[in-house]
Amino acid sequence: DTGVSQNPRHKITKRGQNVTFRCDPISEHNRLYWYRQTLGQGPEFLTYFQNEAQLEKSRLLSDRFSAERPKGSFSTLEIQRTEQGDSAMYLCASSLMDGPYEQYFGPGTRLTVT
Amino acid sequence: SQQGEEDPQALSIQEGENATMNCSYKTSINNLQWYRQNSGRGLVHLILIRSNEREKHSGRLRVTLDTSKKSSSLLITASRAADTASYFCATDANSWGKLQFGAGTQVVVTP
């Protein structure tokens, strides 16, 4: 399967712990996006990369959140000192550059903070 | 914050009927995209329409865009039970791919 993959699929953590999610985009896609989705809502943009450069971050992304895309391949999203409000589905998507192009979404990582 | 707003929030129809949902947005756009989400397959891209286009077709899907009214509609013809899903419109202001999604329309198609 050559789609977008995300790991883990589910994560349960206690408040105050750090968590890290991984996204592997479609190999030829230069752009990679992170979104967050809560129940009953559409996805909300968090940040995006063009190759290894992080070009934009949403105001939703507090200082506790950091994302990287070393070497322009996979990406990680880390949340430090998790809070209950961080509980959500974290979605990763990728697309070709020089768009506009459709985005291909991964299955998501569901985070539950207890 | 959500840029788009879908209407209706929920729609229940029988197989074979058409389903129409609308999307309104607030600021100017480069393109508008429609996505489908169900529990089995996650978010799947359906169709992209550029700001200089007025109508686009893909199989049983028809999308219209009226930039003067800042609105779009998605029509699914001859619906099937497999069309049961949430449908989201997403606007892209500058083609960078920073999509702003609405809250979605939940569609249930009964056999």
* Beta strands A53-57 and A65-68, pairing class: unpaired
Contacts of A41 in chain B (CB under 8 A): 2, 103-104
- For residues A8 and B70, is the Cβ–Cβ distance under 8 A? no
Burial letters B35-56, b for 16+ CB under 10 A, else e: bbbeeeebbebbbbbebeeeeb
pLDDT tens column, A55-91: 989 988 889 999 999 988 999 999 999 999 999 999 9
Residue among B82, B69, B63, B65 at smallest CA distance from B20: B63
Alpha carbons A73 and A60: distance in angstroms, whole number: 24
CB contact under 8 A, B99 and A91: no
Boundaries of every domain in chain B: 5-110
Q: What is the pLDDT of residue B2?
A: 56
Alpha carbons B80 and A110: distance in angstroms, whole number: 29
Contacts of B2 in chain A (CB under 8 A): 41-42, 44
pLDDT tens column, B98-108: 899 999 999 99
Q: Which residue of B has its CA nearest to A97?
A: B96
Q: CB A107: neighbour CB atoms within 10 A?
A: 18
Q: Which residue of A has its CA nearest to B2?
A: A44
Beta bridge partners of A5: A24
CB contact under 8 A, A102 and B48: yes
Phi, psi of A86 (to 5 degrees): -80, -10
pLDDT band for A97, please (50, 70, 90 cuts): confident
Q: What is the mean pLDDT of residues A42-54?
A: 94
Any B CB within 8 A of A25 CB = no
CB contact under 8 A, B2 and A48: no
Distance from the Cα of B45 to chain A's closest Cα (Å) equals: 6
What's the DSSP call for residue B45? E
- For residues A35 and A107, is the Cβ–Cβ distance under 8 A? no
Q: What is the pLDDT of residue A65?
A: 96
Question: Within chain B, which residues score under 50 in pLDDT?
Answer: none
* Torsion from C-alpha of A113, B9, B96, A95, nearest 10 degrees: 70
Q: What is the pLDDT of residue B40?
A: 67
Q: What is the pLDDT of residue A101?
A: 81
Alpha carbons A77 and A92: distance in angstroms, whole number: 10
Which numeric CATH code is attached to B5-110?
2.60.40.10
The structure tokens listed for A102 are: 């459709």
